[in-house]
Amino acid sequence: MKLHFSPNSCSNGIHVILEEIGVPYESVRVNFQNREQFSEGFRAINPKGKVPTLVRDDGSVLTEYQAIAFWLGRSFPEAGLLAQDIEGQARALELMDYMVATVHMRGFTFIFAPQRFTAVEAAHDEIRAHGRGIVTDGFAQLGEVLGGRDWLLGDYSIADATMFYLTTWGRGREIPMPDNVSTFHDRMLARPAVQRMLAKSAV
């Protein structure tokens, strides 16, 4: 397999999942600063110009975070990253959809790229503040789900790798998060798979 990724993007979550699974894969960096996601070469692989993008062993390409995470969890059940029953799988998808579609896309996108929503620079701070509010509320809700457990669904899963990329962004922007969510982030940092991902993405 081959993972097309960009450091400190949501593809970090998929990178962690691949490291947890432990199967051979190649990681290919897509340089966003050089706008490589829009290059002819990358668009030939993923016309959406997005990461993560996973090229599977049969040459087929899988895109979109939740789809890749779910496929990896189902394809490598021995890793124990996804429940085998439909209820457990639905709960994992429910959490990932909320984290990606709401906390990431409706929250962090406002913080990172207010210019996407208006060219009026005077409004950018207000847009960023709006995004911070969504993210802060998102962390509060995820903290409620986590409760006193180590992991979101009880057992470690693809949902935890997803929350990790969000908490990484949250710490980088000094966005407040509940104590149990902050402790979760530290717990993730201690995982060997996360340490390997961070080392690979820093190269």
| pLDDT tens-place string over residues 67-113 | 999 999 999 999 999 999 999 999 999 999 999 999 999 999 999 99
CATH class of the domain defined by 2-80+195-202: alpha beta
Q: Over the chain, what is the mean pLDDT?
A: 95
For residue range 47-71, list pLDDT tens digits in order: 999 999 999 999 999 999 999 999 9
- How far is 191 from 195, CA to CA, in rounded Å? 6
Tell me what pLDDT residue 203 has. Answer: 63
pTM comes to 0.95
Q: What is the pLDDT of residues 14-23, one digit of tens each?
A: 999 999 999 9
- Which CATH entry fits the domain spanning 86-191: 3.90.226.10, 1.20.1050.10, 2.60.40.10, 2.40.50.140? 1.20.1050.10
The domain spans of the chain are 2-80+195-202, 86-191
Mapping DSSP onto H, E and C, the string for the chain reads: CEEEECCCCCHHHHHHHHHHHCCCCEEEECCCCCCHHHCHHHHHHCCCCCCCEEECCCCCEEECHHHHHHHHHHHCHHHCCCCCCHHHHHHHHHHHHHHHHHHHHHHHHHHHCHHHCCCCHHHHHHHHHHHHHHHHHHHHHHHHHHCCCCCCECECCHHHHHHHHHHHHHHHCCCCCCHHHHHHHHHHHCCHHHHHHHHHHHC
